[in-house]
């Protein structure tokens, strides 16, 4: 039995982020990870062949670009611990089978010039839209990476100004409603909606409108990027920071439960029976659906509400390929973007019918995105070779057999998606594919059974009723667990949401506040 100041369950990037801040504050921190490697959904590994580096889950880092952890380099990840981001001039592109493209350059003027070629009105509407999004970013950003206001206080604050009331309105609408209000061209609507649905949200779902409003502002302000060497380089830099400040990350250590004594979390117990005690508190990457399994001492009403948390409406069937030679787009590699959407529908109606299939348990091979990561980062593969990352939206429950059918069907669905990808890539033939690995929604859940429930790599749905301090529930939105003092939650199911946010920063702020540690003073301190 060992004693630490803080013990953390789960070495995903959020748990590592919280641990790094607390280690910088002088706390003796231990992170325990079930898998033989750290990083969770933010890991890059040689999954198929040596020398080919694949992002296991997250690929592109967008929302974290506004996080002061990177903007102000609060942990020294960029200046001291080896993290380097690649920022292309073209963050986002939509490519059609007939050669049509809509390109979102980091440069707004250049983007609007492209839009004007098919809709002069939408070019000006888009410029106005992005300026409104950028104007709202300072207020939104300040709340994304810190503990959220209570929902009542948040609503009251927003209701005090025209700007706040506008944002409340957007937050409760659907992404489809937002683009329909602002734009006339289906091409531009398709371009924005496909980007927003990367957050695993259907276009017509209420409470998803904020994504449509915020994402263009983020792209034209901060850009869209991936770490050099792969997504997992973020996790590696966080581990180096933790170890620099005297902490430890231990893999192959499966936690079986949170130890609770007299209503207080006092440590973690492994499946082997070994215990690690914590003087100040415990941080757990524990999805609300499995809170009962790890913390049975939680009050029953809290557990029941946690178990009703709504997962995202769909997941992904992820295609990893090793390639003999780098991929070539049929429209030319000048259209390669950090986020590349590939489409063969020109009307919103046609695309929405494809999303409807997801609601009915069907996989649409037409809902695809992705490409060759070596286009921007040749270090990911041997000279001239490629690493393909292909996203095909897919339901967790298949209509013909449910989730249990995925093991028997994932290769077939991958084949259908690859036939679609070949409409856009000139050399994605069997001769160029030297290795293949398919990860289904069920595989994602197996990979992270305490976080990616029902294959939801974004934790839970981004609906308005699961936002700010009501994410994932009103009971748990403060990162604390009622009647279990000293237990703090971290993960994609907490505010601000799924994806790579570096959201563990907010958990660290809440914990430091409870421990009377001045977070701003910690961040202001130099990385010695």
Name the pTM for this structure. Answer: 0.97
Please report the pLDDT score of residue 527 as a whole number.
Answer: 72
Please report the pLDDT score of residue 452 as a whole number.
Answer: 94
Please report the pLDDT score of residue 528 as a whole number.
Answer: 66
Please report the pLDDT score of residue 327 as a whole number.
Answer: 97
DSSP for 297-339, written as a single string: TS-HHHHHHHTTPPPPS-EEEEEEEEESS---BTT-GGG--SE
The helix or strand, by DSSP H or E, that contains position 438, with its residue range, turns out to be strand 433-439
pLDDT in tens, 423-442: 999 999 999 999 999 999 99
Please report the pLDDT score of residue 129 as a whole number.
Answer: 97
Q: Per residue, what are the HEC states of 447-495?
A: HCCCCCHHHCCCCCCCCHHHCHHHCCCCCCCCCEECCEEEEEECCCCCC
Give the 3-state secondary structure of residue 425. Answer: strand
Beta bridge partners of 270: 255
Please report the pLDDT score of residue 1 as a whole number.
Answer: 60
Nearest to 258 by CA among 227, 218, 285: 285
pLDDT in tens, 125-163: 999 999 999 999 988 888 899 999 899 999 999 999 999
Rounded to 5 degrees, what are φ and ψ at 477?
Answer: -65, -15
Under 8 Å CB-to-CB from 444, ≥6 apart: which residues? 57, 315, 316, 318, 452, 455, 456, 457
Give the 3-state secondary structure of residue 75. Answer: coil
Nearest to 94 by CA among 3, 228, 192: 192
CATH architecture of 2-84+230-310+455-524: 3-Layer(bba) Sandwich (3.50)
**Cα angle: 149, vertex 152, 153; to 5 degrees:** 50
Per residue of the chain (528 residues), what is the pLDDT tens digit? 668 999 999 999 999 999 999 999 999 999 999 999 999 999 999 999 999 999 999 999 999 998 999 999 999 999 999 999 999 999 999 999 999 999 999 999 999 999 999 999 999 999 999 999 999 998 888 889 999 989 999 999 999 999 999 999 999 999 999 999 999 999 999 999 999 999 899 999 999 999 999 999 999 999 899 999 999 999 999 999 999 999 999 999 999 999 999 999 999 999 999 999 999 999 999 999 999 999 999 999 999 999 999 999 999 999 999 999 999 999 999 999 999 999 999 999 999 999 999 999 999 999 999 999 999 999 999 999 999 999 999 999 999 999 999 999 999 999 999 999 999 999 999 999 999 999 999 999 999 998 999 999 999 999 999 999 999 999 999 999 999 999 999 999 999 988 899 999 999 999 999 999 999 999 987 776
Beta bridge partners of 103: 93
Q: From residue 460, give the alpha-carbon distance in Å to each of 316, 453, 454.
A: 14, 8, 10
Q: From residue 34, give the alpha-carbon distance in Å to each of 38, 40, 71, 269.
A: 9, 10, 31, 12
Please report the pLDDT score of residue 2 as a whole number.
Answer: 66
Under 8 Å CB-to-CB from 19, ≥6 apart: which residues? 6, 8, 29, 31, 238, 242, 247, 249, 283, 504
Q: How many residues does the chain have?
A: 528
């Amino acid at each position: 039995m060992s004693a630490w100041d803080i013990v953390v369950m789960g070495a995903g990037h959020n748990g590592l982020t919280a641990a790094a801040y607390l280690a910088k504050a002088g706390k003796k921190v231990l992170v325990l990870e079930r898998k033989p490697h750290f990083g969770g959904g933010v890991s890059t590994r040689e999954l198929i062949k040596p020398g080919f580096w694949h992002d296991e889950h997250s690929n592109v880092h967008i929302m974290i670009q506004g996080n002061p952890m990177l903007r102000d380099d609060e942990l020294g990840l960029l200046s001291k611990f080896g993290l380097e981001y690649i920022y292309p001039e073209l963050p986002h592109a939509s490519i059609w089978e007939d050669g049509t493209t809509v390109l979102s350059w980091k440069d707004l003027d250049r983007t609007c010039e492209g839009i004007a070629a098919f809709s002069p009105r939408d070019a000006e509407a888009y410029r106005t839209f992005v300026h409104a999004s950028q104007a709202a970013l300072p207020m939104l950003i300040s709340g994304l990476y810190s503990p959220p206001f209570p929902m009542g206080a948040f609503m009251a604050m927003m209701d005090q100004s025209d700007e706040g009331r506008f944002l409340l309105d957007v937050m409760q609408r659907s992404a489809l409603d937002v683009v329909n209000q602002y734009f006339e061209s289906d091409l531009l609507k398709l371009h924005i909606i496909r980007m927003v649905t990367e957050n695993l949200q259907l276009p017509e779902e209420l409470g998803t409108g904020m994504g449509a409003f915020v994402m263009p502002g983020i792209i034209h302000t901060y850009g869209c990027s991936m770490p050099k060497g792969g997504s997992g380089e973020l996790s590696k830099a966080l581990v180096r920071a933790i170890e620099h400040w005297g902490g430890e990350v231990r893999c192959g250590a499966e936690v079986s439960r949170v130890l609770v004594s007299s209503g207080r979390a006092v440590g973690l117990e492994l499946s082997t029976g070994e215990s690690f005690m914590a003087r100040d508190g415990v941080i757990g990457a524990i999805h609300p659906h499995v809170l009962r399994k790890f913390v049975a001492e939680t009050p029953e009403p809290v557990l029941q509400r946690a178990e009703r948390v709504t997962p995202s409406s769909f997941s992904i069937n992820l295609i990893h390929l090793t390639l003999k030679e780098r991929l070539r787009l049929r429209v030319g590699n000048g259209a390669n973007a950090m986020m590349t959407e590939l489409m063969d529908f020109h009307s919103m109606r046609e695309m929405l019918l494809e999303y409807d299939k997801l609601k009915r348990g069907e996989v649409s091979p037409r809902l695809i995105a992705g490409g060759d990561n070596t286009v921007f980062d040749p270090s990911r593969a041997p000279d001239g070779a490629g690493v393909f990352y292909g996203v095909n939206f897919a339901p967790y429950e298949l209509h013909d057999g449910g989730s249990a059918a995925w093991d028997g069907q994932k290769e077939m669905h991958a084949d259908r998606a690859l036939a679609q990808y070949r409409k856009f890539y000139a050399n994605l033939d069997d001769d160029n594919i030297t290795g293949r690995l398919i990860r289904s929604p069920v595989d994602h859940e197996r990979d992270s059974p305490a976080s990616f429930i029902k294959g939801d790599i974004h934790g839970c749905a981004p609906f308005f009723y699961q936002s700010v301090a009501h994410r994932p529930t009103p009971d748990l939105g403060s990162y604390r667990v009622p009647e279990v003092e000293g237990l703090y939650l971290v993960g994609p199911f907490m505010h601000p949401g799924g994806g790579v946010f570096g959201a563990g920063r907010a958990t660290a702020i809440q914990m430091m506040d409870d421990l009377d540690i001045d977070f701003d003073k910690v961040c202001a301190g130099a990385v010695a």
